[in-house]
Amino acid sequence: SIVSILLDQEKIDLETEDEKHRTPLWTAVYRGHTTIAEMLLRKGAYASKSPAGEETLLNLAVVRGSTSLTHLLLEKGADPEEKSRSNEAPVFQAVCRGDAAVLSLLLGKGASPDTRNPAGETALQRAVYRSDTSAVSLLLGKGANPDLQVVGGETPLYMGK
């Protein structure tokens, strides 16, 4: 491919930034190009470098629902706890998407099952609210606390349908 030919150049700068400070890897993840992202990471691009004001690489992959990109970034050292622009952890975003495969990857790499969004809602509470039995089971299986309260004192048990 063209990208592999470019990457064969000895002096290629993998961390070159465009005017919005986005790197080639950020752009590949944003566009969902797993093969290109893999080539860039293999060549030495940083899995956790994200431009100021933009989504993190891992959050981009999670929001895209890309199991392959999420797995790749986690394997290359992306922080499973790194918050998005909206200050939400990837676990919370995976629950909001109803993406059990991505959620399982994140939890398997040590992401907290008790993460909260900026409003104080836990991932487990959101999963219960969504009636997402897969996410509830995954979160509880990784130690989510079913007694954590949101503002007002409610726990996930209050939200069950």
Amino acid identity, position 6: L
Q: Using CB atoms within 10 A of its CB, is residue 161 exposed (0-12), middle (13-18) or buried (19+)?
A: exposed
- CA 28-99-52 angle, to 5 degrees, is 40
Check residue 161 and give its pLDDT. Answer: 66
pLDDT for 40 beyond 80: yes
- Rounded Cα gap, residues 121 and 150, in angstroms: 6
Q: Are 124 and 156 in contact (CB under 8 A)?
A: yes
pLDDT tens digit sequence for 47-103: 887 776 778 899 999 999 999 999 999 999 999 998 888 888 999 999 999 999 999
Q: What is the pTM of this model?
A: 0.87
Confidence label for 16 from pLDDT (cuts 50, 70 and 90):
confident
Check residue 3 and give its pLDDT. Answer: 83
Q: How many CB atoms lie within 10 A of CB 154?
A: 13
Q: Which of 55, 37, 44, 35 lies closest to 15 in space, CA to CA?
A: 44
Check residue 35 and give its pLDDT. Answer: 94
Arithmetic mean of pLDDT, 102-125: 94
